[in-house]
């Protein structure tokens, strides 16, 4: 795990905790909607950063189909017709 990913995970957890505190404070009347909105924005930013960093690198598509075939599965149908 990279340092950048660890940092993103820590920011995600911190943003989650801040959101939870803001919601609980609003229930008691000690916080307003602005604090909750900021906490939600921070959480969404941390969440997207974590998703971006933890996503697996894209893989190249497999080359199971002949490039000259116009439709997927056409080679299978052609072989099936030749055998029958």
Residue 82 covered by a domain: no
pTM for this model (two decimals): 0.58
Torsion of CA 10, 13, 16, 22, to 10 degrees: -70
Q: Give residue 36's domain range.
A: 1-56
Counting the structural domains of the chain, the total is 1
Residue 21 covered by a domain: yes
* pLDDT tens by residue, the chain, 84 residues: 688 889 999 999 999 999 999 888 888 887 778 888 999 999 999 999 989 888 756 555 555 555 565 666 777 677 777 765
Residue 76 covered by a domain: no
- 55: alpha, beta or left? (left if phi > 0; alpha if psi -120 to 50): beta
Residue 42: strand, helix, or coil:
helix
Residue 75 covered by a domain: no
């Amino acid at each position: 795990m990279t340092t950048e990913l660890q940092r993103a995970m820590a920011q995600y957890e911190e943003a989650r905790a801040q959101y939870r505190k803001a919601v609980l404070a609003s229930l008691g009347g000690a916080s307003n909607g602005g604090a909750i909105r900021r906490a939600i924005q921070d959480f969404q930013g941390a969440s997207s950063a974590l998703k971006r960093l933890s996503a697996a690198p894209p893989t190249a598509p497999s080359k199971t189909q002949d490039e000259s075939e116009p439709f997927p599965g056409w080679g299978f149908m052609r072989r099936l017709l030749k055998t029958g």
